[in-house]
């Protein structure tokens, strides 16, 4: 479980996060949605321990992040896999090497690494592309490598940061389907940070809507989108239509 309570964060005297509170429960596919500049990235950085916060609390599995030392934060982050918009693959490394990178950083057994990378390549349907480098892969295939890499340390949490923004609609659907197939066979808790309503609707069971550093709507995804709130209409660019 991740519990965020009364979180506040300012940068250069500007309030970026304003009294943010919500809970992500085990097994959730939880959406943090909002337009660019809404505070999503800062919130994500605070959750992952990359940034400190001014007040409030972030507790991951009962551990308050701000009270951990650097070694303890590193241990918490080991339990979180990350999938990014730009794939963040090493260009000179092949598929297997990219998948294996976190395991090598943690100095796991070489035999285990070899076995695990092949297993993960198969899981994301890249068993026939193991020795290709990123430039030889499509965008969707590169994101599949990134998904496999995020799973390599058997994390409890996966954070997906605008992870479909660089993909076309068809490829986006295939990546979302892959992620949900993986979710069905695991106890993963997935956090999806996105501005894309279609992504949130397709895979998230709960969402919070951020606007100017504040939560302006939250709840089960079906409820949030079905009630047609002003916050959602603004997010969809339809508020003006309603006022005409």
Q: Of 35-39, 47-51, 174-178, which has the strongest mean pLDDT?
A: 174-178
pLDDT for 238 equals 67
Q: Select from 103, 113, 102, 179 the least CA-distant residue to 140.
A: 179
Tell whether pTM > 0.85.
yes
Structure tokens at 107: 């100095």
- Distances, alpha carbon 216 to alpha carbons 163, 208, 219, 240, 242, in Å: 23, 8, 11, 18, 18
Sequence-distant (6+) residues with CB within 8 A of 188 are 27, 155, 156, 157, 158, 182
pLDDT mean over 44-62: 91
State how far Cα 14 lies from the chain centre.
25
pLDDT for 244 equals 42
Q: Is the pLDDT of residue 143 over 50?
A: yes
pLDDT for 73 equals 86
| Percent of all residues in the chain with a pLDDT value above 90, rounded to a whole number | 75
Residue appearing with tokens 């949605």: 33
pLDDT for 50 equals 84
Name the class of domain 1-79+156-175+188-244. alpha beta
Domain residue extents for the chain: 1-79+156-175+188-244, 88-154
Residue appearing with tokens 């992952």: 48
């Amino acid at each position: 479980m991740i519990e965020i309570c009364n979180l506040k964060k300012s940068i250069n005297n500007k309030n970026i996060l304003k009294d943010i509170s919500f809970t992500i429960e085990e097994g959730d596919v939880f959406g943090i949605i909002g337009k660019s500049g809404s505070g999503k990235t800062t919130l994500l950085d605070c959750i992952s321990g990359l940034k400190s916060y001014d007040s409030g609390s972030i507790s991951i599995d009962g551990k308050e992040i701000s009270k951990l030392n650097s070694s303890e934060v590193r241990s918490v982050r080991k339990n979180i896999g990350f999938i990014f918009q730009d794939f963040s693959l090493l260009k000179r490394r092949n598929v297997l090497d990219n998948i294996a990178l976190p395991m090598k950083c943690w100095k796991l057994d070489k035999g285990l690494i070899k076995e695990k990378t092949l297993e993960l390549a198969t899981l994301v349907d890249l068993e026939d592309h193991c020795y290709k480098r990123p430039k030889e892969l499509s965008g969707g295939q590169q994101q599949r490598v990134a998904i496999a890499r995020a799973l390599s340390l058997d994390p409890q949490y996966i954070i997906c940061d605008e992870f479909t923004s660089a993909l076309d609609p068809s490829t986006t659907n295939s990546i979302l389907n892959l992620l949900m197939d993986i979710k069905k066979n695991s106890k993963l808790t997935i956090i999806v940070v996105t501005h894309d309503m279609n992504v949130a609707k397709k895979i998230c069971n709960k969402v919070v809507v951020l606007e100017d550093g504040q939560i302006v709507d939250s709840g089960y995804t079906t409820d949030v989108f079905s009630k047609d709130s002003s916050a959602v209409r603004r997010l969809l660019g339809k508020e003006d239509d309603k006022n005409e």
